[in-house]
Amino acid sequence: MQTSRKSRQRTLVVGLILVGLILVGVFGFRAARAFREFRRYGPPPPLAGEPAETDVELIRDWMTIPFIAQMYHVPGRVLFKSLDIPEHNNKEKSLKQLNDEYYPEAEGIVLAKVKAAVLANQPPPLPTVPATPTLP
């Protein structure tokens, strides 16, 4: 009885230490990697007057066409047209769902087409105004 209890205690302690070490190792590595990435991107963008997003690499499979349209200031109908997909009944579907439904044989084609359409149709950047007026 006593031996069995001791054995259970030993298993528990060894188990806790092993699980703890595995979690610390795996997630410590992941946290360090995420932190390095995080620092590489520098400080957060300014809050006020943020312009439309221009980096199409931020487009993900889970996004919907209206979401991308608003994020990149590109009309949604232009994006649907570039995909040859009707707007009706498709506004709430993610790019992955659209891909599975309309292009099941070509994985990732919807994402690629949307990125290309956004790049081709983004509004021109606003002209920058000099901080202080200059006299001729």
Partner 1 sequence: MSDFLLTQVINYGAPILGLIVFIGAMGPPLPATLMVIAAGAFSNQGFLSWWTTALVVLACVVAGDSLSYAMGYYAREPVLRRFGKSERWARAEAAFDRWGATSVLLTRFLITGLAVPVNLLAGTSNFGFRRFFLYDLAGETIWVFGYGGLGYLFGTQWELVGEFISSFGSLTLGLVILITGIVLAIRWLRAR
Per CB under 8 A, the segment of 14-22, 77-85, 101-109, 113-121 that binds partner 1 is 14-22
> 48-77 mask for partner 1 (x: CB under 8 A)?
--x--x-x--x-xxxxx--x--xx------
Q: How far apart are CA 128 and CA 136, in angstroms?
A: 18
Q: List, in sequence order, the alpha helices (H) in 41-49.
A: none
Whether the CB-CB separation of 96 and 58 falls below 8 Å is answered with no
Whether the CB-CB separation of 103 and 110 falls below 8 Å is answered with yes
Among 7, 8, 10, 77, contact with partner 1 (rule: CB under 8 A)? 10
119 binds partner 1 (CB under 8 A): no
CB neighbour class for 35 (10 Å; exposed up to 12, middle 13-18, buried from 19): exposed
CB neighbour class for 56 (10 Å; exposed up to 12, middle 13-18, buried from 19): middle
Q: How far apart are CA 116 and CA 1, in angstroms?
A: 71
Question: Between residues 77 and 91, which has the closer beta carbon with respect to partner 1?
Answer: 91
Q: Which of residues 22-51 bind partner 1 (CB under 8 A)?
A: 22-24, 26-28, 30-31, 34-35, 37-38, 41, 44-45, 47, 50
Among 7, 8, 21, 77, contact with partner 1 (rule: CB under 8 A)? 21
Q: How far apart are CA 133 and CA 135, in angstroms?
A: 7
**Residues interacting with partner 1, by CB under 8 A?**
9-10, 12-17, 19-24, 26-28, 30-31, 34-35, 37-38, 41, 44-45, 47, 50, 53, 55, 58, 60-64, 67, 70-71, 92-94, 96-97
